[in-house]
Amino acid sequence: MNKKKDAIAYYEKGESAFGETKFDQAILCYTRTSKLNKDCLGSHFERGRTLGEQGKYRKANRVYRRVLLMDPRSKLAYYNNGYVLDMLGKTDESIEMYQKVIDLDPRYVDGYYNLAIVLTTEGKYEEAEEFYKKVLELKPSDAPQVSNCMGYSYFLRGSFSKAITEFQKALTLDENYSIVSLNMSLVLYCEDDFEGALKSYEEGIKTLENKEDVMETLKEYIANYTCEKDRIKKKLDDKFVETLNNDERLLLNKLLTSLNNILKLLNQYSYHEEKENKL
């Protein structure tokens, strides 16, 4: 029996299964590869990636820790583990992972992006801004994405006029950027401009209709907004709310109402879109 040859064959089967989103099958193949060749870094890495795709973040984290023991300079393992740790709510550890990514590769744009996003969710807005600036420095063509992220950061801070300015800047650079229109809708809800919010929402949905992967995009947007809603609800629980002043409580409730409004509309649209696809 040629273990090396068999290991390669199982690895290739795992890649094929992953590409077809047959994740359980992919994991079996990668596990088999690792048993045949325990030093095969790729099989461990791909198993972690597959577990992440399944939302099995604790298991994925354990696998990535093993990968990093085998190769402490694996930029992608740090990067993927950063995402996994963020999903587990371990934001401090997630930040450490992304910091390690950019230490290893100071020109890795996605590392700066994700680091800035995690810092934003932690309320470290000024720190996040510095990393968004670094993205622009390394990749000026990402200006619409950076303006969208900055606008969302201002939205979370309650600086609604600044948020609108950033979203308008993003739409000037890319008028078909659907998530910006939806984010603009969030801000306008908070400003009690319901007519403007609905118009902005409709613009975002109209842009979505031109895409082939409408349902996948919708699912992604709904998941992101739901995640943000859950974060805010957690801040408003009995233990944390006592540390907030009146203005902070009002802002969080306003953000929560806005997110509920956009989620209600997106879920309605998603339902009708799915129904039409089945007809």
Domain limits of the chain?
A: 1-71, 73-138, 141-279
For 180-211, write each residue's pLDDT tens digit. 999 999 999 999 999 999 999 999 999 887 76
Rounded Cα–Cα distance for residues 179 and 271 (Å): 19
The string over 41-77, giving b where at least 16 C-beta atoms fall within 10 Å of a residue's C-beta and e elsewhere, is eebbbbbbbbbbeeebbebbbebbebbbeeeeebbbb
Query: Would you state the pLDDT for residue 163?
Result: 97
Q: Which pairs with CB-CB distance under 8 Å and at least 24 residues apart come from 127-133?
A: 128/153, 129/153
Rounded Cα–Cα distance for residues 78 and 99 (Å): 9
DSSP letter string, 73-115: T-HHHHHHHHHHHHHTT-HHHHHHHHHHHHHH-TT-HHHHHHH
Class of CATH domain 73-138: mainly alpha
For 85-128, write each residue's pLDDT tens digit. 999 989 999 999 999 999 999 999 999 999 999 999 899 999 99
Q: What is the mean pLDDT of each run of 10 residues along the chain (279 residues)?
A: 82 94 94 90 94 95 96 96 94 96 96 96 94 96 96 96 97 94 96 95 88 82 92 80 83 95 92 65
The sign of the dihedral angle between the CA atoms of 113, 19, 215, 263 is negative
Class of CATH domain 1-71: mainly alpha
Tokens of 129: 């801004």
Identical topology for domains 73-138 and 141-279: yes
Q: Which architecture characterizes domain 141-279 according to CATH?
A: Alpha Horseshoe (1.25)
- Three-state secondary-structure class, residue 22: coil
